[in-house]
Amino acid sequence: MAERAPVPVDAREPRFTVRRAALLAATLGLASAVVALTGVAYLWPLAVFPLVLAAVFFFELGGLVVTLWAGNVLVLHYSFAAPASPTAVRDALIGSALFFAAGLLLGAVQRRHHRRQRALAASSLTDRLTGLYNYGTFVDALHNEARKVDRYGGQLTLLMLDLDHFKRFNDRHGHEAGNEVLRSVGALLRASVRDADFAARYGGEEFAVLIRGDEQQGYELAERLRHAVARTGIDLRGGTEAGVTVSVGVAGAMQHPVDEAALVERADEALYAAKARGRNRVVVATGVAAADGAAATAAALSA
């Protein structure tokens, strides 16, 4: 599987910004040299390309920079040429104003297009209801993180979370209330995990959190999330409040290279053990599968 980053391409924007600034500066320098050699009459056609380039790269700010550049070239030209007539100065000012307006317009259009593209990219990576990454993005993230651990070392731990008796909750309170619970849990996960961690909606009422760390760190995070979910309630019609609990299975990668499927399977087995032991608890997978293919043992670290 090819390695793909589970984040929008704008995550690399700082590097692109430097390259774009260098390209724009080179373009302005070249245009300035040509104007100096051929005369100001060639300024406006030459400035069209830098203006468009600046608007595409830096939006309204780019249009302003190119407009200031064009005005400075005019000033330098008139400083070293014959005294400018009032008509020439007026025409230069009007031309600069029109250029500035064109730069702002192009920049605004490009900014709107850029935001639309970012929204489309984000919608393909995230779950619309919870705001978390979706299953497909989680699969890519697990693959990427596993390869990083294989290459650079470190530990990788997966938390699988499942809302307890969620179908019963939906049947009792309605699907819209269930959706509100999913939104609340999604917001809680986004607020609780570190920037380096990866939280996703795995499917239905099941969530996954991938962290760089060992099972003990995964257990501590799982306990914080379990308590936070238990404290989370949603308002229902009639002034009542309802909430849910969550069961969590925690598993760390036990071998190198990391077996992604085995990691997910062990976390699932720990989750099922948490369900079987009464729900609303965290179970951490320990050991490896037996030679006969039996499931890995699971040890409960919390009551």
Count CB-CB contacts under 10 A for residue 197: 16
Same domain, 88 and 194: no
Residue 221, in any domain of the structure? yes
Residues catalogued as catalytic:
205
Same domain, 152 and 286: yes
Same domain, 77 and 142: no
* Cα separation, 105 vs 101, whole angstroms: 6
* Cα separation, 173 vs 68, whole angstroms: 62
Q: What do you get for the CA distance between the two ends of the chain, in Å?
A: 40
* Cα separation, 174 vs 185, whole angstroms: 17
pTM above 0.85, yes or no: no
* Cα separation, 265 vs 251, whole angstroms: 9
Same domain, 146 and 88: no
* Cα separation, 183 vs 114, whole angstroms: 27
Q: Structural domain of residue 93, as residue ranges?
A: 9-125
Tens-digit pLDDT string for the chain (303 aa): 333 334 444 444 567 778 888 887 887 778 777 766 766 555 556 677 777 778 778 877 777 787 777 766 666 665 556 566 677 667 667 766 776 777 777 777 778 877 777 766 656 688 889 989 999 899 999 999 999 999 988 899 999 999 999 999 999 999 999 999 999 999 999 999 988 899 999 999 999 999 999 999 999 999 999 999 999 888 887 778 888 999 999 999 877 888 999 999 999 999 999 999 999 999 999 733 322 233 333 444 433
Residue 160, in any domain of the structure? yes
Residue 2, in any domain of the structure? no
* Cα separation, 109 vs 59, whole angstroms: 8
| Most distant pair of Cα atoms in the chain: their distance | 96
Cβ–Cβ < 8 Å for 246, 222: no
Number of domains in the chain: 2
Cβ–Cβ < 8 Å for 250, 285: yes
